[in-house]
Amino acid sequence: MTRFIVVLLALLALAETAFAAPPEPATLGEGQVLRGRFVQERHLKGFQAPLKSEGHFTLVPGRGLLWRTDTPFAVTTVMSPSGIVQEVRGTETMRLPASKLPFLSRLYAMLGGALGGDLKALESMFAVVREADASGWRLVLTPLKADDPAMPIRSITLKGARLVEEVEIAKPDGDFDRLRFLDQDLTAGPPAAEEVQLLGSAGRS
């Protein structure tokens, strides 16, 4: 699961640089904040309808990611170098400190690499296939190591133009998640005070 988070974060950041299609790649770096809405559909075999959630996210390079689900109910997930915390209606339901996650230190290496347009971090875990045309690009990632219990993923497909617009994650048993990113807004300047506070909450142990 943690590996999955790492991949996701890296991908979000990646999209800003290396695979941004023409006309020009945006560079997401320190001092910038990416905000947007997301729609997530989790397609589970045997379920009548996909589990659909919507909300908004904030990515602050170097500080972490806020993933706030608004519907069907409020869940706030904070990822930072210090760890991961999840809250539902003000009640903490998960807390994973960084000491429990050796990945987190690697996450930062990956994020840094990704932000600098360095694909090596991803290529150590995935076989990467790139396609691009005038309208945008497509990227298919397949894990190098099959049957890795830490990464139950068959493939990840990303689509986008300037920014990542859609991610599809296929699981080995046929389930898949589809994430769409809307209304993305890349701004310069520090994150809001509330965002800073939330990002800091993951650091408490």
Partner 1 sequence: MKRLAALAWLALVLLAGLYLAYRVQDGLTFRTDLLALLPREEQDPTLQRANEAVSRALGRRVVALVGDPSRERARAAALALSADLKVTGLVSSAGDEIDADRMKAMGSLYFPHRRGLLSAGDRTLLLAGRGEDIALRALSQAFGVFGMADANLLRNDPFLLLPSFFTGLPFPLSRLTPDDGLLTVVEDGTTWILVSAALAGEPFELDVQERVIGAFDASVERLRQTAPNLQVKRLGAVFFAQAGSQAALDESTWLSTLSLGGTVLLILLVFRRVGPLLHNLLALGVGLGVGLSGSLALFGELHVAALLFGTSLIGVAVDYSLHYSACLFDRTCATSRDRLAHVLPGITLGLVTTLIGYMALMLAPFPGLRQIAVFSILGLIAAFLTVVLWLPPLDHAAPLRHGHGMLAAAGHLWRFWEDARFRVPRVLLLLLLVVVGVVGLTRLHANDDVRRLQSLSPALVQEQEEIQRRIGATAASQFLLVRAADDEQALRRQEAIAATLDRLVGERAIAGYHMPAAFVPSAQRQAENRALLRDALESPWLASQRELLGLPPASPERDDPVPPLTLAAALGQGGVPFLGDLVLGSGLHVVALQGLARPDAVRAALAGVEGVRLVDPTADFSALLGKYRQRALLLIAASALLMVPALVWRYGWRGRCGPWCPPRWPWPWPLRWRRWRARASPSSTPWRWS
Site for partner 1 in 44-103 (CB under 8 A): 44-51, 53, 67, 69, 72-73, 75, 77, 84, 86, 88-89, 91, 93-94, 99-103
Other C-beta atoms closer than 10 Å to the C-beta of 177 total 20
Is-contact 97 74, C-beta < 8 A?
no
- In 3D space, the residue among 179, 185, 165 whose CA is nearest the CA of residue 39 turns out to be 179
Instruction: Output 67 or 137, the one with its CB closest to partner 1.
Output: 67
Edge-to-edge strands, sheet with 83-88? 91-97, 83-88, 75-80, 64-71, 51-60, 32-43, 176-188, 164-170, 155-160, 137-143, 126-132
User: Using CB under 8 A, which of the segments 27-35, 127-135, 145-153, 189-197 binds partner 1?
Assistant: 145-153
Shortest distance, position 73 Cβ to partner 1, whole Å: 7
Shortest distance, position 36 Cβ to partner 1, whole Å: 14
Binding residues for partner 1, total number by CB under 8 A: 44
Instruction: Output 80 or 137, the one with its CB closest to partner 1.
Output: 80
Q: What is the DSSP letter of 167?
A: E
Query: Could you tell me where the DSSP H helices lie in the chain?
Result: 2-14, 102-115, 120-123, 193-201
Residues that bind partner 1 (CB under 8 A): 1, 4-5, 8, 40, 42, 44-51, 53, 67, 69, 72-73, 75, 77, 84, 86, 88-89, 91, 93-94, 99-103, 105-106, 147-150, 152, 171, 173, 175, 177
